[in-house]
Amino acid sequence: MKVAIVQQICSQQQQENLNHSIQGIREAASQGAKLILLPELHIARYFCQVEDTRYFALAEPIPGPSTAIFSALAVELKVVLVISLFERRTAGIYHNTAVVLDTDGRIAGRYRKMHIPDDPGFYEKFYFTPGDLGFTPINTSIGCLGVLVCWDQWYPEAARLMALAGAELLLYPSAIGWNPEDDAAEKYRQREAWITIQRAHAIANGLPLLSSNRVGIEANPNQHIPGIQFWGTSFIAGPQGELLTIGSTDEPIVLVTEIDLQRTEKIRQIWPYFRDRRIDSYGKLSQRYLD
């Protein structure tokens, strides 16, 4: 099956961002992709650089305007889409939500981001209520998708629970980048860590993995603070962590490659991590820290 990632630049104009997403989806579909992943919050600039109630106006219901647009596109192109939205659940409750649209246009499922960061330039706890849908894969016409979002990608527990629940692929829409003031060595370490941890999830679970990101420098609305230089590097890996395709750090691109879903069973026969797990000894993982 051919799968794809749309790596895009996001501007202050929502319609422009929407057009970039649609153009990327059409390009991927024209190359035969049946599953297409968009970056995190791809319809807007990354507003979480500051805490400002004005940005709650960007939130929308699900179903809503954006799901209607992308649902029609999924039907037209006969593809499965994984989009990322700022969900308004009700007044005062908002989520960072990935939505899966099947080839018939229906909402196959949604995933609300579980791990919410709160770091300089990434003030997501101000905007997003932690997810309450758990780590539940979403069944579609082309396979069972383990969809997680950005900060979730640093947690092996999230990937493992998706795999244990039957996910056939892991997908991570992301918005991650550098502080432009960091030196080259620090930038290298951060980007390599990001790639490595996700390849490790693919390996540990014997699953193919798609990780999308945006590119470009987005200024901080507070002009006295550096913005974020999003590092792109969207990639697709196989079930042994092998890189099948990877994007640049600074250019929008549509990545398309073929994956073999049958390899998971073969890999798990050779590398039987699931067989040898000591589930009788992992109970303390549910504790915050072992004092």
Q: Which of 10, 34, 40, 48 is catalytic?
A: 40
Angstrom distance (rounded) from CA 230 to CA 271: 35
Q: Hey, which bits of the chain come out as E strands? A: 2-7, 35-37, 80-90, 93-101, 107-112, 118-119, 122-123, 138-140, 143-147, 169-173, 177-178, 209-212, 215-218, 228-231, 235-237, 243-246, 253-258
Per the residue annotation, which of 10, 113, 168, 218 is the catalytic one?
113
Contacts of 206 (CB under 8 A, 6+ apart): 163, 239, 240, 264, 267, 268, 271, 273, 274
Q: pLDDT (tens digit, 9 = 90+) per residue, 15-27?
A: 999 999 999 999 9
pLDDT at 222: 83
Which of the following is catalytic: 34, 150, 168, 218?
Answer: 150
113 is catalytic: yes
Q: Tens digits of per-residue pLDDT, 7-50?
A: 999 999 999 999 999 999 999 999 999 999 999 999 999 999 99
Report the domain count for the chain. Answer: 1
Task: Report pLDDT digits (tens) over 67-108.
Answer: 999 999 999 999 999 999 999 999 999 999 999 999 999 999
Average pLDDT over residues 141-158: 98
> How confident is the model at residue 53, as a pLDDT?
97
Q: Is residue 176 part of a domain?
A: yes
Instruction: Judge whether residue 223 has pLDDT over 80.
Output: no
- For the segment 232-252, the average pLDDT, to the nearest whole number, is 98
Residue 163 belongs to a domain:
yes
Residue owning tokens 């849908």: 133
Residue 148 lies in a domain: yes
Residue range of the domain that includes 243? 2-286
Residue 291 located in a structural domain: no
| % of the chain with per-residue pLDDT over 90 | 97
125 is catalytic: no
For range 167-192, the mean pLDDT: 97
Please report the pLDDT score of residue 5 as a whole number: 98
Does residue 273 form part of some domain? yes
Query: Which one, of 69, 81, 65, lies nearest residue 29 by Cα?
Result: 81
Tell me if residue 266 is catalytic. no
Q: Identify the CATH number of the domain in which residue 179 sits.
A: 3.60.110.10
pLDDT band at 199 (very low <50, low <70, confident <90, very high): very high
Residue 167 lies in a domain: yes
- Tell me the average pLDDT across 189-202: 98
224 confidence band (pLDDT: 50, 70, 90): confident
